Structure 1
Amino acid sequence: MKISSYCLVFLLFSCSASNATSSEETAATATAAVAAPAAQPMVLQEVTGKHFFSNRSKPDQFRLQLTGKDALTGTVNLSIVSADGETLWSDQFPATYLLDYGFDTYAGDNPTDAQRTAYIQKRMKEFFVEDSFLTQAVKATDKFDTNYTANKQAWEEAKQTGLPGFFYNIGEENGRRLVYSPSQRKAIVVQSCC
């Protein structure tokens, strides 16, 4: 059987085009596999601790991370994750929110950037001190105050469960009392105060 030269050229061209397409696909796949992941912000400081919060028998993981180029322009990320791996609380704020009234005593009248940085690092190290953890988030004798209390349902639930609480302060007058709400399966701010 004779194959015309036209058919032979067509077959050769088809095979060549198919190989080129397959080579391009392989190159594209290889490039995608090698492409660098999105850059993560650099972690400058991290403080962690385990404390009872959502459960009296299994402690939760508390984490505070300072990310960014430096402490004065960085971001602080606060998270609470249960022993079962559920995120109960997540908060994010500028690192400079850790400069509070205590900074004036610490640094004096004309603080330097180095002093500001050192104070932010100091506040981070002290963020999870035992005084920040309340044995009982809301005691039976605590009165609900509409001026400072944010969530009456969570307040009442915390009063009934008797679970521990966590208090933290950012800025100069932004204190937050957190409780765990079993019905919502997360931490709730029940009180926000100066």
Structure 2
Amino acid sequence: MHITRLFLLLPLLAACNSTPSAVNDGSFSKMADRQASDATATLPVPDTTHTKAVSALSDTLRVARLAHNFSRHKGPADKFQLVFRGPSILEGTAEFTITDPDGQVIFREMLTEPDLEAALVYEMKGPTATRAERETYVLRRIDRFFLPAQFHTPAVERNAPIDSFGEKLDAATWDDLRKRPDAISFEYLKGKEDRQRVTWSPLKKQTVSVTRY
């Protein structure tokens, strides 16, 4: 009798000890996925407060500034600025701006590195210049771009003939400027010998060229 019961219990014990791998594997996999998803969902937002800032002016190599009256002959001065940017002194571009006392840019011109270097030929002692000599000259041109001697009053001489300005100055503007003895002009060199001169026109309410032939 006891032997018979033992044989009957053996299959039942074997069934209890066996592991249904297919069912358990699936349950454990779903549980692991849920835990991973929960862990991901609760991750903190990355801290970017110490991220290095990128400067838009990182390529600025030289800056020249001067406060001088221009759009008005007295009162707050206009701001003259020349900003030279680029990978190197011999591969850059200069932005020349004049900003009035109200913060409005009233003149802007881009000058290339050759525009600033061209007149070096008049100072060279030989047929060529070294890179260091060229760089020194360009930097000096930038630093001396706004010399006091380059500002002139009046902007247009009263007896100056209009045809000396070519097509750069119309008759009405010329006539108005020559009646303003306190008008101020600024002269600068572009290239080897191209001397430019600009002034503020109250009639047109803008900067105009008064470059003479």
What are the residue-to-residue correspondences of 1:31-180 with 2, within 5 Å? Answer: 39-40=56-57, 42-57=59-74, 58-106=76-124, 108-146=126-164, 148=166, 150-152=168-170, 153-162=172-181, 163-180=183-200
SS at match of 2:115: helix
SS in 1 for 2:108: strand
- Flag structure 2 segments of 5+ consecutive residues without an equivalent: 1-36
After superposition, the Cα gap between the structure-2 partners of 1:147 and 1:136, relative to the gap in structure 1 and judged at 3 Å, is closer
Contact in 2 for aligned 1:167/1:175 (Cα 8 Å): yes
1:72 is displaced (CA, Å) by 1.0
Please give the alpha-carbon distance, in whole angstroms, between the structure 2 residues aligned to 1:107 and 1:127.
Answer: 23
Paired position in structure 2 for 1:189: 209
| SS of alignment partner, residue 211 of structure 2 | strand
State the distance in 1 between where 2:166 and 2:126 align: 32
CA positional deviation for 1:66: 0.7
Q: 1:184 to 1:91 in 2, by over 3 A?
A: same
Cα deviation 1:8-65 (Å, max 9, x = unaligned): xxxxxxxx9xxx8xx9xxx8xx99xx89768446111111111111111122110011
Q: For the Cα contact (< 8 Å) 1:73–1:96, is it kept in 2?
A: no
Instruction: Name the TM-score, length of structure 1 as normaliser.
Output: 0.74
SS in structure 2 at match of 1:160: coil
**What displacement does 1:178 show?**
0.4
- Cα root mean square deviation, aligned: 3.1
TM-score (norm: length of structure 2): 0.68
Q: Distance in 1 between matches of 2:125 and 2:113?
A: 17
**Residue deviations 1:73-120, cap 9 Å, x none?**
100110101111111100002122112334432453220111111111
- Once superposed, which parts of structure 1, at least 4 consecutive aligned residues long, lie more than 6 Å away? 34-38
- How many residues align? The count is 174
3-state SS, counterpart of residue 99 of structure 1: helix
Gaps of 5+ in 1: 1-15
Tell me, yes or no, if the aligned pair for 1:154 and 1:179 is still in contact at 8 Å: no
How far off its partner does 1:148 sit? 4.0
Query: Which structure dedicates a bigger proportion of its chain to strand?
Result: 1
Using the TM superposition, give the Cα deviation of residue 154 of structure 1 relative to its aligned residue in structure 2, in angstroms: 2.9
Q: How far did 1:170 drift?
A: 0.6
Partner Cα separation in structure 2 for residue 101 and residue 191 of structure 1? 19
Equivalent position amino acid for 1:95 in 2:
E
SS of the residue 1:101 aligns to: helix
Asked if the contact 1:50/1:60 (under 8 Å) is kept, the reply is: yes
Letter in 2 for 1:164: I
Q: Which whole-Å CA distance do the structure 1 matches of 2:54 and 2:212 have between them?
A: 39
